[in-house]
Amino acid sequence: MAKKEQLVTGVDIGSAAVKVCKLQKTGKGYTIMALGSAALPEGSVEDGVLQEPEEVGKTIATLFSNLKIKNSKVGISISGYSVIVKKINLEVMEEEDLAEYITSEAEQYIPFDIDEVYLDFQDLKTNGEHGERTDVMLVAAKKDVIDDYLDMLQEQKLKPVLVDVDGFALENIWETATGSSDNVALIDIGASKMNINILCDGASVLARDVVVGSDQLTEQLANALDVDFEEAEKIKLGLIPVEEQQKEVEEIFNQTCTQWVLEMKKAIDLYMANHPDKPLSRLVLSGGGSKVNGLLSFIEQETGLEVISFNPFQHMNFNRKKIDPDYIEAIAPEMAIAAGLAIRPADF
């Protein structure tokens, strides 16, 4: 019998929580083997940088133990100021020559010392049949930030075999889960950052991180309504009615979410300026922040685009005796990046 392809266990380390996803390839699709999320102590991770590696390591180890995950090969992804993603236009050349060129010339494209970063690139092959120039996606990540993550995972007897970028993990799971090559804006709203990745003809043409997130909204609600963070979180998700303070809640919501929408519009306007004949078909929301009560219709109203909530597990199988379907439905939007890592093969 053919040996099943082993996939990495996806570990998405955010500023508020760690999300873990373990999948298995089955025929043309995937089966969910395990998934879960655990809150991180405040301040453990800030702007994508590990501040408390021991705390984060313990949280991940506990989550792996609770989910009974034995596979130690893991994939993580990064975002924030420590990673730069840039699209550059270069003459068409062989991959070996391109690698040499990038290594010697990367410094002019990135604001970091070349010795302090890990570099990677992908030729997007936009030259067509006879074109002389092509777009190349260049990624540079700070070595000290990456090394801290790798050390922390190895301390927990885990084997990190893959480091991705949040926006690209999101792109991978979207294309795998939907098979779609529509022009879409993928937007993942976390606790303290928003990833925007715009796809055109099945390729990423604009990727950026913005330092806004749903904790902003929770903190403002907590202060204005004089309630603790936990209660404010429930109000934000529409789990607690606030009849008497409805007007105040709406004002805070509109003010904060308008800021998020402005960032989305900036990216969409830039995309439309460069691709006027390729309009976006929809905006796809994921991340814990996408579950904010009323957010989808608010963004729809403000952008004029169809907005959908992304469930990466919609067409996947799972054992209903082991995993509650309601739990999958509830946790799905915030598991998108972890799922995007979990579809990657572990043949490293």
Q: How far apart (Å, rounded) are the C-alpha atoms in residues 214 and 216? A: 5
pLDDT score for 348: 60
Structure confidence at residue 169 as a pLDDT band (50, 70, 90) = very high
Q: What is the mean pLDDT of residues 280-301?
A: 95
pLDDT at 130 over 80: no
Q: Best-predicted range by mean pLDDT among 8-12, 101-105, 198-202?
A: 8-12
pLDDT at 347 over 80: no
Question: Where are the alpha helices (H) located in 199-307, listed in sequence order?
Answer: 214-225, 229-236, 246-274, 295-303
Q: How far apart (Å, rounded) are the C-alpha atoms in residues 318 and 300? A: 32
pLDDT score for 124: 84
Decide: 104 and 191 in contact? Cβ < 8 Å. no
Q: How far apart (Å, rounded) are the C-alpha atoms in residues 172 and 188? A: 13
Query: SS3 for 71?
Result: coil
The percentage of the chain sitting over the pLDDT mark of 70, rounded to a whole number, equals: 99
Q: How far apart (Å, rounded) are the C-alpha atoms in residues 91 and 304? A: 38
Q: What is the mean pLDDT of residues 277-306?
A: 96
pLDDT score for 1: 40
Task: Give 83-120 pLDDT, tens digit per residue.
Answer: 998 888 899 999 899 999 998 888 899 988 999 999 99
Q: What is the mean pLDDT of residues 133-145?
A: 93
Task: Give 206-224 pLDDT, tens digit per residue.
Answer: 888 999 999 999 999 999 9
Task: Give 148-163 pLDDT, tens digit per residue.
Answer: 999 999 999 999 999 9
pLDDT score for 3: 58
Decide: 339 and 173 in contact? Cβ < 8 Å. yes
Q: What is the mean pLDDT of residues 118-143?
A: 88
What average pLDDT does the structure give for the chain?
93
pLDDT score for 80: 87
pLDDT at 2 over 60: no
What domains, with CATH codes, occur in the chain?
9-342 (3.30.420.40)
Task: Give 18-33 pLDDT, tens digit per residue.
Answer: 999 999 998 889 999 9
